[in-house]
Amino acid sequence: MNKKASATDDFDSLNVIYFIYQWWKQLTIVCLSAIVISSIVALTISDRYKSTVVLFPATTNSISNVLLSEVNTSKEDLLKFGEEEDAEQMIQILNSNEIRSRICEKYNLMKHYGINPNDKLKNTQLYDIYADNISFKLTEYMSVKIDVLDNDPKLAAEIANDIANLLDSVKIKIQHERALEALKIVERAYLNKKEDLETLNDSLKIINAHGIYDYESQSDRTVQEYNIAIAKGDQRAIKLLEEKLQIIAKYGSEYVLIRDNIILQGKVLSILKTKLEEAKVNANQVLSQKFVVSKAFPAEKKTYPVRWLIVLLSTLSTLFITLIIIIIFGKINKPEAK
């Protein structure tokens, strides 16, 4: 028999059957042992139930921009689902330390997960188990899934729904802080502009006290009256009108400058007032940042573990490894052909 035939002889189908027949007692014992051990292990694994919340992000437009602005005509934006970028931002917020800390604290997950509160690595253990049991995924439809696994189906549903609710709380808090800063800036600009306008009006009143109320019409009318007085030779009227023309010449240009500035600043103040009203709406009103497609409910059927699958895979793996060991052992102890 040549070397090639002897090398493939062990893997011939008839030899394999004969090989298994030779070792059937040992293999049967191994299989039964694997079934018993894996069954015991599978039974020690606690059941875990999964609850899921599915939601879509809302658009990031401000309330004032959607509802109050005359420029923005996209009224449907208020009801429009967010895009992929909004969904990714949502996942980032869901993964935030604030949401994780509030959930861990509210449900006392350190105790629930059986973590020793005196352990130096207690937080690391808590966050690792939290990450294993709670996950956030972006679906192909640009929605976000919140999956929560726990051995208590009711608790799993409560945590999933609470995380969805905290999304609004955390995001609105972030936006509210920014909106308050914007409100302060606009309010300060509005008050400063209002003060400037009051100063201009006070200056205009001083000029009004000198008899200047409408430079253009007063100037034209006074010149006409002056020409008529000259034509009549009315010296008294001429003298009075000359004095009046001197006052108009002295304060007229300043009156025009202040008046035009008041008109301009009044327009700016009007714009700032609109901005202030919008900023107040953004700072004081809240709008949900999500559309909940389905809320979580307590699962009636466990998700993990699938005990029969654990037993099957463990038995097959053990059988395969045993066969490999027997083959190797047989090759080592097989006498070389001469």
pLDDT, tens only, 282-307:
777 666 778 888 888 888 787 666 66
Which among 80, 40, 41, 42 is positioned nearest to 60, based on CA atoms? 80
Structure tokens at 270: 């009007």
Q: What average pLDDT does the segment 121-137 reach?
A: 92
Q: What is the mean pLDDT of residues 180-197?
A: 90
State pTM to two decimals: 0.62
Of residues 179 and 124, the one with the higher pLDDT is 124
Please report the pLDDT score of residue 212 as a whole number: 80
- Per-residue pLDDT, averaged over 314-333, amounts to 73
Burial (CB count within 10 angstroms: exposed 0-12, middle 13-18, buried 19+), residue 102? middle
- Is the pLDDT at 338 greater than 50? The verdict is no
Neighbours of 90 (CB within 10 A): 23
Note whether 94 and 146 are within 8 A (CB): yes
Say what the pLDDT of residue 135 is.
Answer: 92
Residue 64 near residue 282, CB atoms below 8 Å:
yes
The yes-or-no verdict on residue 51 having pLDDT over 50 is: yes
